[in-house]
Chains A and B, each alone.
Chain A
């Protein structure tokens, strides 16, 4: 009972109401994130239809295997994240920590693969700017494609860079025994964030890597 009382902030009637309020607040934040990434996707769609040939040819320079592997890694990390929340609901405190560590490791693997991809682009001189070099009739428009590529995947990677330490904090709190089946809202909210970042990638991967592959 005292455990429940300690977790309950005084402005709420009960833990259920508190959890509901946290969940709604998190979804309002995620709505702003939807609009943020939505703007990037909209801009990409406009320029992709304007310079479709240059964008299609540029997308062939992306590594579909590394991109696909990274998608699988991120989907696995979403599963371990969901299992971490489930462990909290079932009062399995050790399992929360282990699943959070697994999620962080998978997140780190994703960022590592992303780093390798970025380095390839650097070596192929495909970073937009004065050093950009591509033997193509519409190199200017190709440069625009890579600008979108780096901004969109970069913003996504930044969200991951923020997410991994956040899960680390959750893991530390779980290790200290701060969560139980009565109170696990922070783990669930961190999970909502993590799954959202996963969803962004679910759209980024086909839009950037796949759409023009058959052409």
Chain B
């Protein structure tokens, strides 16, 4: 029982990638991209998280059952975020009947 031993070379590459992504995300934050600043920051964060999960947390070398447990956690988070955003995004789509505005 000793599991998959990740080579030092792989860990070195993973660490270098994480540091490079950190530098990129800080650099991109100063570039004027409008709403794409958020998209860029979150995309880089997701990539960093995936690298950490797959290599540092050994999920890449884990059995399928572990994959299911890991995905379930993030899938439930996705349910939370998507149902929440459908509410807040669509809130202003329908006109509010007269009289309700004052009560708000």
Contact = CB atoms under 8 A, between A and B. Distances in A.
Interface string B20-32: 0010011001111
Interface of A: 4, 14-16, 19-20, 23-24, 27-28, 30-31, 34-35, 38-39, 42, 45-46, 49, 64, 68, 71-72, 75-76, 78-79, 81-83, 85-86, 89-90, 181-183, 188, 191-192, 195-196, 198-199, 202-203, 205-207, 209-215
A19 B19 CA distance: 31
Contacts, number: 138
Nearest to B31: A214
A75 B17 CA distance: 11
Nearest to A202: B48
A27 B66 contact: yes
B100 interface: no
Secondary structure call for the B interface: helix
B15 to A, nearest CB: 5
Q: Which 10 A-B pairs have the closest CB atoms?
A: A31-B73, A206-B41, A15-B1, A210-B29, A27-B69, A213-B29, A38-B77, A181-B2, A34-B73, A82-B56
Contacts of B32: 214-215
A107 B33 CA distance: 34
A182 B19 contact: no
A82 B3 CA distance: 13
Given A81-B56, A181-B2, A214-B30, 6 more contacts: A24-B69, A34-B77, A38-B80, A199-B53, A202-B49, A206-B45
Contacts of A31: 69, 72-73, 76
Contact of A24 (B8, B58, B65, B84): B65
